[in-house]
Amino acid sequence: MITWEDFEKVDMRIGTIIEAEVFPKAKRPAYKLKVDFGELGIKQSSAQITAHYQPEELIGKQVMAVVNFPPKQIANFISECLVMGVYDSSGDVVLLHPGKTVPNGCKVG
């Protein structure tokens, strides 16, 4: 069990994907994403979401992400946020997103 204070430390925000491209240097199939978080700016992420999504269909899609993890180097790329998803019955990631369009940078709580 975690405390409410522990949960509050995780900064989850909604952002809009503005760029998506294949990440050939990743160990497992992935895309490089650029996500607009409004006042927090644009952050990049590596996401293993290739089973259900093509890069062109991701543009303009709102997603939930953790924005306060330290940057992580993945091959020649620095990932600045963790785009969140759930695993389907095949073990592939399905992105989490709001049911309606909201302003970029909205805090999830």
Per residue in 93-102, pLDDT (tens digit) is: 999 999 999 9
Which one of 1.10.287.980, 3.10.20.310, 3.30.390.50, 2.40.50.140 gives the CATH number of domain 4-94? 2.40.50.140
pTM over 0.85: yes
DSSP assignment of the chain: ---HHHHHTS-EEEEEEEEEEE-TTSSSS-EEEEEE-GGG-EEEEEE--TTT--HHHHTT-EEEEE--SPPEEETTEEE-SEE-EEE-TTS-EEE---SS---TTPBP-
Per residue in 71-88, pLDDT (tens digit) is: 999 999 999 999 999 999
| Domain ranges within the chain, ordered by starting residue | 4-94
